[in-house]
A and B are shown apart, each in its own frame.
Chain A
Amino acid sequence: MNTILKVKNLEQRFELDKGILGKIKFKNGKFVKEERIVRAVNDISFSVDKGKVFSLVGESGCGKSTTARTIIKLIEPKGGTVEFAGENITDLTRTEMLKYRKRMQMIFQDPYASLNSKQKVLNIITEPMLFHGVAASKSEAKEKALDILGKVGIRPEQATRYPHQFSGGQRQRIGIARALAVEPEFIIADEPVSALDVSIQAQILNLLMDLKKEYNFSYLFIAHDLSVVKHISDDLGVMYLGKIVEKGSKVNIFDNPLHPYTKALFSSVPKLSGTNLKNSKGIRGEIPSSINLPSGCYFHDRCPYAKQICMEKMPTEREVENGHFVLCHLY
């Protein structure tokens, strides 16, 4: 079995109007029952191979983070299945989930919000160790924690400090150390560098890659920065309005982007030389609201190649070349 994570037809939606009273609206002189639902993730499928990095890219609000949170079951999925190491974990309860929690961990986006300011760094790292029995005693946990902190670049004498005594980059290192504490096989990194300075971004990315080599992790990497993605990923999925519009290997997608949205994304990356930004048309309009999803292909009203069929029917996924899938009527 070479696949560590397999996501099939995953769906996630949130009701905006909770309770019966919230659903009743007064419109045109009548009371009507109306439900507004945010469709954040719409029927997406992908898989992450062992020891590989799968990146999900897309603009803000396209459902990348929601996908991550649904996979790790911070939010219960509303449809589809999530398979981890061959086991279906979609409907597991909290206690059944525990043994998988030890094997999959998460790195969060905001290093200022992801550490409990009332906990010392050492306790932040030893807490998951002791809970999952990775370390038998407190002293063993302490030793292991200092070792892990050393690996991410935090010195032992800094371990008794509180999070607010660290800089953003150091805090992100602590967040990474917490994820490593339970010795997981699979790590979800939810935009781990987007809140950091550019100079620190490279350090953190290299740290993540070094750790991957050492522990042989697999990553699900969420990002909106294509240069970051190009640096680290093996496979790639491009998301738009809760759909994966194109997925394939990094080479496939970077060298031969097919979906109009992917093409537009690439053309909007500034380059040092050339006139690519001047000539870039970018994407027309705004990302539509995920409450009222467009009919047909979600991208049709912004797509320069839109045809009649794009407004009527959602395209199906087509494999254009080996392992390169695209969701578009053009192909």
Chain B
Amino acid sequence: MKTEAQTINNIGTKNSKWKLFLKSEFFYNYKRSVLAIIGSIIIISVILIAIFGPLFTIQDPYNMSEIELNNAYTPPAWIEGGESTFILGTDQQGRDMFSAIVYGSRVSLVIGIVSTLLSSVLGIALGIISGYFGGKVDALIMRIADVMLSFPTMLIALFVMSVLGRGVVNILITLTIVGWVKFARTVRGEVLSVKKQEYIEATKVIGLPNLKIILKHVFPNVLTSIIVLVTMQVGSNILTEATLSFLGLGVPITRPSLGMLCSNGFDVLYSGMWWVTIFPGLYIMLIVFGINLLGDFLRDELNPKLK
């Protein structure tokens, strides 16, 4: 027999969030969604390769002393003339493509994830301010967003990059400038509907300060739609970065990302050395494919309007 006091003390210890999650409808559906699981496996593998891959590569593609120019344009291992050391062949400087892709994916992933974090923080903050307080601030923020949306994303990105110049930091700034709008608009819309709910009125009747209402009551209730956006945005930012790098406006040559690797092989694509461009391209595709598979599942699952 438990005493009353013990019962009271036990409250809060059981029923933990993790246990609730494992029992939730969301997790149940996840276990049954083949596409979502494939997406997660791709994402996890890509991340593990980016972190631990350098342990298995035969060379550091950025270290010129490890590269032999004699090995230039070795085809992939399974093609005539290929060497087993260079599984995916080499580029014009004799760099092992597999090593280059592993190192390049680190640059791409870091840019994709960090830029999404930056743009989501900025976008969510502006979206909440805009939706919650309304009035002139709202009008100002939304008109800026409208202007941003009336130009193609790539055009703004190209413009900002050509002003700022190449570099990882500059790419992050650019992707943040073009990326926040999506977050701000979605979050504003969600906040507008959440703030009319009676539980928000209840917090006002209690007298809680705005900051507390926003952090504890508004934000948790708009979080689900943000999760979907964040996932999708990582994929699209990796693509935008790849495009910018391909056009020669992205990362510096000394730190090639996947897009830069594609661009390097583009000159020799029609001379038969297709592997220099195709393999990094396929890898970009795989990463974005994985992210989108998971993102689609999250969107279907977390958006009550689609249920």
Contacts and interface: CB of A to CB of B under 8 A. Distances in A.
A310 to B, nearest CB: 37
A160 B15 CA distance: 7
Given A97-B207, A118-B221, A106 B8 contact: no
A110 interface: yes
Contacts of B208: 127, 131
Contacts of A114: 197-199, 201-202
Contacts of A162: 20
Nearest to B206: A128
A33 to B, nearest CB: 20
B205 interface: yes
A258 interface: no
A272 interface: no
A72 B205 CA distance: 7
A263 B198 CA distance: 33
A98 B20 CA distance: 36
A106 B221 contact: no
Interface in A117-152: 117-119, 122, 127-128, 131-132, 142-143, 146
Contacts of A94: 207, 209
B206 A182 contact: yes
B12 A160 contact: yes
A157 B221 CA distance: 25
Contact of B202 (A159, A160, A178): A178
Interface string B54-93: 0000000000000000000000000000000000000000
Nearest to B219: A118
A86 interface: no
A108 B201 contact: yes
A108 B198 contact: yes
A101 B198 contact: no
A307 interface: no
A200 B60 CA distance: 72
Given A74-B204, A156-B7, A182-B206, A109 B198 contact: yes
B8 A143 contact: yes
A117 B24 CA distance: 14
Given A113-B197, A156-B11, A160-B15, A105 B221 contact: no
10 contacts: A108-B202, A114-B198, A114-B202, A116-B199, A116-B220, A118-B220, A119-B216, A131-B206, A156-B11, A160-B12
Given A94-B209, A146-B8, A178-B202, 15 more contacts: A101-B205, A105-B205, A114-B197, A114-B199, A114-B201, A114-B202, A116-B221, A119-B217, A122-B12, A132-B207, A143-B8, A160-B11, A160-B14, A161-B15, A175-B202
